[in-house]
């Protein structure tokens, strides 16, 4: 490991052992260098845009990283150190500060060498140490799906970006160089990496306004995922460029001359669209290459904002405008800070000409996005604070971070993030004129949640441009949307989740649905508690229960009621917490007599003046002692569960655990509910049905290990079914027979301790 303090001559000598002759400058779209860049080359690249660069810091980082990676090699056979060096070179093209360049040199040291965060902090300072740690992937993520591992690493990356946006710039440069050298990676890994790049990193670069990097990442992914289509598009593009080479120059000169005639100085140049952009447009519109009319576009770079609109007037008064092809992103910028005027005219030679008119600053931001900000200046404060003040793109990132707390699991977070990454924009307005930017294909539900979560949750109808419309109506640019709400609706229908397009709307709907379910449990729990207190002549008050919360290990009264409703604690436990001297009285319970049914037990326990009343005095009707009793078909119930009987005329009584989701089907029929209790004879133990779901690693002998655990703990397997979730995991649904809840919990805990088991859950039908 490198110890700082070497002389510059010593460090250069060490670098020269691994470095060869410097390569010529290259554009970012060119293939990577075949020779390693020397130490002084890197310093010169940084000094070319930042004369105040800390050369000693760059030199120390260069040598430290080179020695840390030592003899490690890449899949291409090149020294591994060529990779961080190329990442640093990409970032010098973006003109980034010293700390970012150093982080690029060190970004794989913690993950792939013996270097530690503490050592990085000691040698290079905590700022650089935090950047490097933010770029270090999570490890030890065994027994989870590839999607979950991908999501957790993306979650960690986004959290690190929220602290320091330079983490994102290094990560994108890292991915760009990996994509440029993807040909050396095994084919199976190539496809996975290219898909991940197209799914996450390319759109992430686009949302941060880094259009040039996004386009190169997309093209490199496209070339890997569909090389035949890529080759066809490139062949057509090259042939078209050969045919139109003179025409492009002619259009450039005519446009520039027209602006000069009106006293404007403009820089005009043509460029062709990238292969992936062309291919996606052909796919989206189901058209052939020959039908594309905007393969070549022209940039018009003006000296100031006023000149942009003067240039637009000259173009529109000189050539016919193509209807529907005008967009002003200067007055209404995109969320990634993109600003430009787009228009299409029938220009010189009767050719359709697509123009983008912008200033030099706008052009820099359009290509480099957040990287266009001068991070190396000393008077700007932290780069992240700078972007919070000046960048709408960073506001989107902070919004995405907010989804972290609303996602129930890693896969859900990944889904939300992908939804946020993939879209062009539609601009709509509230009746008061507030502008709402939404993804293409968004509907009124997405609009409502973009206005406010409460508006979305209480939405019952809408008007689009003054006319009543469905909430699922797709919105178009310029629509004025009025969302109609009702206080009677506090939670949205769960089906809205499948209709929503934006991650924000889906997360809010999912969260509201979970809250509604919790409220249902809390309402049921409160009824159970109040009935117990009424029967036992005890006084119940929320204030008194509030003082007993610590004894119940719950944070709020609603938490207690929901726990009672789910069967996690008993109503008698609540009474005992409020009244320590409370003793639960003996009542006739299910099974008090051999062969007795709950209905019979309830009937025998009721006073003569109130026939057919159960132990909690719940009125019932239409019962007789001959009703058959059975357990819930999907999951059963075991002693220790809080149970409920549901009466089905002509069929009998079905016993459900109180946490069973199936009970929701009977919420509007309270006359069918019967409270029953267990009264198991401990001297004659018997087994009861339960169902568990086991997700285990798909390897030889895994089923035998699961069965062995159950057998060793005296459980009996009644039935088992298997389904293949993925090539790596199998889902087992097992019907067990156990003695009670304690017995079932012990089996579940022992299964969870097995290394081949990823997850175990009890199933309640």
Give 576's contacts (C-beta < 8 A, 6+ positions apart): 582, 584
Closest residue by Cα to residue 499 from 459, 465, 467: 459
**CB neighbourhood size of 764 (10 A):** 22
Whether 329 and 340 have beta carbons less than 8 Å apart is answered as yes
Q: Tell me the DSSP string of 1-61.
A: ---S---HHHHHHHHHHH--SPPPP--TTSPPPSSPPPHHHHHHHHHTT-TT--HHHHHHH
Q: How far apart are CA 631 and CA 562, in angstroms?
A: 23
336: exposed, middle or buried (C-beta count within 10 Å: 0-12, 13-18, 19+)?
A: buried
C-alpha torsion sign, points 460, 465, 466, 468: negative
Q: Is 111 a catalytic residue?
A: yes
Contacts of 463 (CB under 8 A, 6+ apart): 469, 481, 482, 484
Single out the catalytic residue among 55, 93, 98, 111: 111
CA–CA separation, 100 and 171 (whole Å) = 11
Q: What is d(CA 409, CA 308) in angstroms, rounded to the nearest whole number?
A: 48
Alpha-carbon gap, residue 363 to 754, rounded angstroms = 57
What is the phi/psi pair of residue 396, to 5°?
-60, -40
Q: What is the number of residues in the chain?
A: 765
Helical segments of 182-210, H only = 187-196, 202-207
Per-residue DSSP letter, 183: G
Residue 724: strand pairing partners: 730
Question: Active site residue: 112, 497, 559, 728, which one?
Answer: 112
SS (H, E, C) 510-575: HHHHHHHHHHHHHHHHHHHHHHHHHHCCCCCCHHHHHHCHHHHCCCCHHHHHHHHHHCCCCHHHHH
Strand 435-439 with 425-429, pairing: antiparallel
Beta strands in 396-480 (DSSP E): 425-429, 435-439, 459-464, 467-469
Using CA atoms, how far apart are residues 28 and 502, in angstroms rounded to an integer? 33
Q: Which helix (H) or strand (E) holds 402?
A: helix 392-403
Q: State the number of CA atoms in the 13 A half-sphere of 595 facing the CB.
A: 2
Cα–Cα distance, 714 to 509 (Å, whole number)? 43
Q: Which of 490, 744, 500 is nearest to 641 (CA)?
A: 744
Question: Distance between CA atoms of 302 and 67, rounded to whole angstroms?
Answer: 48
- Looking at residue 229, the DSSP 8-state letter turns out to be H
Which residues form the catalytic set?
111-112
């Amino acid at each position: 490991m490198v110890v700082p303090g070497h002389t510059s001559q010593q460090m250069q000598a060490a670098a020269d052992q691994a470095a060869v002759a410097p390569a010529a400058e290259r554009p970012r779209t060119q293939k990577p260098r075949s020779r390693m860049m020397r130490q002084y080359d890197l310093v010169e690249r940084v000094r070319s845009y930042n004369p105040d660069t800390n050369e000693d810091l760059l030199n120390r980082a260069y040598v430290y990283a080179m020695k840390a990676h030592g003899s490690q090699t890449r899949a291409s056979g090149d020294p591994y150190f060529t990779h961080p060096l190329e990442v640093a070179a990409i970032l010098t093209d973006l003109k980034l500060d010293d700390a970012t360049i150093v982080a690029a040199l060190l970004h794989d040291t913690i993950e792939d060498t013996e270097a530690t965060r503490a050592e990085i902090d000691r040698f290079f300072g905590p700022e650089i140490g935090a950047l490097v740690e933010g770029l270090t992937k999570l490890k030890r993520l065994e027994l989870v799906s590839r999607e979950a591992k991908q999501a957790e690493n993306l979650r960690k990356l986004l959290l690190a970006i929220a602290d320091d946006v330079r983490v994102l710039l290094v990560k994108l440069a890292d991915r760009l160089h990996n994509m440029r050298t993807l040909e050396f990676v095994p084919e199976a890994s190539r496809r996975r990496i290219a898909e991940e790049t197209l799914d996450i990193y390319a759109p992430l670069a686009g949302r941060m306004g880094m259009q040039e990097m996004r386009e190169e990442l997309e093209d490199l992914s496209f070339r890997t995922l569909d090389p035949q289509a890529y080759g066809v598009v490139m062949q057509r593009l090259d042939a078209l460029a050969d045919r139109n080479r003179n025409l492009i120059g002619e259009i450039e000169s005519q446009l520039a001359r027209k602006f000069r005639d009106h006293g404007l100085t403009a820089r005009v140049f043509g460029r062709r669209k990238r292969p992936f952009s062309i291919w996606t447009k052909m796919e989206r519109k189901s058209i052939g290459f020959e039908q594309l009319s905007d393969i070549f576009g022209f940039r018009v770079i003006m000296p100031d904002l006023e000149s942009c609109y003067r240039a637009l007037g000259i173009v529109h008064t000189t050539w016919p405008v193509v209807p529907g092809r005008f967009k002003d992103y200067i007055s209404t910028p995109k969320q990634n800070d993109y600003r430009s005027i787009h228009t299409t005219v029938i220009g010189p030679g009767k050719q359709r000409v697509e123009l983008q008119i912008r200033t030099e600053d706008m052009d820099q931001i359009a290509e480099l996005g957040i990287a266009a900000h001068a991070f190396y200046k000393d008077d700007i404060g932290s780069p992240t604070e700078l972007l919070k003040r000046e960048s709408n793109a960073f506001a989107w990132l902070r919004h995405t971070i907010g989804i972290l707390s609303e996602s129930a699991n890693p896969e859900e977070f990944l889904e939300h993030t992908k939804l946020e990454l993939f879209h062009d924009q539609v601009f709509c307005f509230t009746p008061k004129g507030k502008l709402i930017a939404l993804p293409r294909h968004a509907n009124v539900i997405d609009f409502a949640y973009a206005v406010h979560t409460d508006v979305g949750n209480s939405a019952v109808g809408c008007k689009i441009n003054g006319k009543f419309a469905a909430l699922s109506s797709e919105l178009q640019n310029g629509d004025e949307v009025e969302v109609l709400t009702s206080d009677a609706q506090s939670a949205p229908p769960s089906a809205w989740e499948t209709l929503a397009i934006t991650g924000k709307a889906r997360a809010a709907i999912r969260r509201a649905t979970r809250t509604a379910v919790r409220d249902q449990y809390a309402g049921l729990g409160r009824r159970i508690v109040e009935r117990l207190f009424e029967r036992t002549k005890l006084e119940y008050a929320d204030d008194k229960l509030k003082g007993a919360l610590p004894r119940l290990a719950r944070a709020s009264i609603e938490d207690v009621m929901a726990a009672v409703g789910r069967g996690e604690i008993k109503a008698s436990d609540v009474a005992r917490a409020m009244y320590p001297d409370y003793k639960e009285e003996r009542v006739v319970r299910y099974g008090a007599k051999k062969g007795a049914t709950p209905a019979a037990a309830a009937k025998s326990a009721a006073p003569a003046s109130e026939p057919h009343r159960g132990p909690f005095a719940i009125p019932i009707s239409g019962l007789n002692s001959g009703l058959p009793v059975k357990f819930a078909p999907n999951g059963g119930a075991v002693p220790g569960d809080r149970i409920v009987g549901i009466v089905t005329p002509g069929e009998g009584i079905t016993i459900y655990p109180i946490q069973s989701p199936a009970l929701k089907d009977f919420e509007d029929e309270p006359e069918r509910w019967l409270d029953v209790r267990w009264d198991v004879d401990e001297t004659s133990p018997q087994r009861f049905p339960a169902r568990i779901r086991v997700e285990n690693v798909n390897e030889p002998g895994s089923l035998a290990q699961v069965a062995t655990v159950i057998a060793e703990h005296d459980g009996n397997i009644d039935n088992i079914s298997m389904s293949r979730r993925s090539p790596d995991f199998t889902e087992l649904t097992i019907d067990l027979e156990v003695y009670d809840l304690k017995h079932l919990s012990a089996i579940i805990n022992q299964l969870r301790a097995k290394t081949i088991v990823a997850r175990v859950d009890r199933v309640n039908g």
